Amino acid sequence: MPRNVALLSVLASIVTLTLKFGAFWITGSVGLLSDAIETFVNLTASVAAVIALTIAYRPANQKFTYGHDKAEYFAGGLEGGLILVAAAGIVYSALSRLANPVVLENLAWGIGISVVAGLINLVVARVMLRAASHFDSITLEADAKHLMADVWTSVGVIIGIGIIMLRPDWVIIDPLIAIVVALNITRSGFSLIKRSLKGLMDAALPDNEIKIVEQAIRKHAGNYAEYHGLRSRKSGSRRFIDFHLLLPGNKTIKEGHTICCFIERDIENELPNSQVTIHVEPEEDTASWDGDRLGGVNSRDLPGQQECD
């Protein structure tokens, strides 16, 4: 279950948080402090992810008839926001250190601890990315990207500390590396917020998935079959697709139902966790059309729908 994978992230964040604050304590490096701050944000985000996934996988009920999947988008947006907060905290700490440089100590120990913490995050992040792909979960993906951002932070900090070990007079490298890392991870934050907002606003499925719907219609209803009112959205890992399909009026209810079943089957095989709703209309009835057939115009591309008589 996705929730169990998210719990792994919580455990990893607790372990790495302890290691990184220890590394900061023995070295005094603002780079390591920024790394520890980001890990603290990771821990908060991981707890939020566990809560969101617990809610998202609750079954539908009379109050939430479409289920609770959208809880995942709140977690994804929260994680994106927390990444930006972490980046701001890192920049603030780095600017303070630029104004007041200090001599760093026990750098070899700091590097060793950071390497261990970074490897832990790397392994957990890769596990979570695979799980996110398997479960099609934006929450797990967000949490994994958050951990990967933490890994890159650790890499940047380790490089900076390594340079300072070779050239102790270059202590200014420490806060500069922290600022560069902060600017880099902001991209992940904005990306997660954007995806979460699109999900909450019921953005349509991407073109390649809409193409799968069209292919299923052509395969079972005929190459010249018409349809309109195609709508799609994604809620967590579930997809919702509905459209009006025009069939010859002389087909029986059973024949129309069979065609729809085959279309739904093909769509659901290609797009897991899809819920497809098809409204069948007689193609001879003008009320079944929401646009003009002339000039090869496909009525699905035209706005508005007319009610059946």
pTM: 0.63
Compute the distance between CA of residue 7 and CA of residue 19 in angstroms, rounded to an integer: 19
Per the CB < 8 A criterion, the answer to whether 179 and 44 are in contact is no
Angle subtended by helix axes 107-135 and 138-166, to nearest 10: 160
Give the pLDDT of residue 133.
83
Give the pLDDT of residue 243.
94
Joined tokens for residue 63: 């109050």
Give the pLDDT of residue 300.
40
Beta bridge partners of 243: 278
Compute the distance between CA of residue 127 and CA of residue 108 in angstroms, rounded to an integer: 29
Give the pLDDT of residue 110.
80
Give the pLDDT of residue 294.
30
Up-side HSE of residue 279: CA atoms within 13 Å toward CB? Answer: 13
- For the chain, the straight-line distance linking the first and the last C-alpha, in angstroms and rounded, comes to 47
CA-atom Rg of the chain in angstroms: 26
Joined tokens for residue 112: 């060793």
Per the CB < 8 A criterion, the answer to whether 27 and 161 are in contact is yes
Joined tokens for residue 83: 């990444």
Give the pLDDT of residue 287.
65
Query: Domains along the chain?
Result: 2-200 (1.20.1510.10), 207-301 (3.30.70.1350)
Q: What is the pLDDT along the chain (309 residues), one digit of tens a residue?
A: 777 888 888 898 899 888 888 888 888 777 777 778 777 877 877 888 788 888 888 888 888 887 787 887 887 788 788 878 878 877 887 787 777 776 777 778 888 888 898 899 899 989 989 988 888 887 788 778 878 877 877 887 788 778 888 887 787 887 787 788 778 778 778 887 887 888 788 888 999 999 999 999 999 998 888 899 899 998 877 899 999 999 998 899 999 999 999 999 999 999 988 999 999 999 887 666 654 443 333 434 433 334 433
Give the pLDDT of residue 289.
64
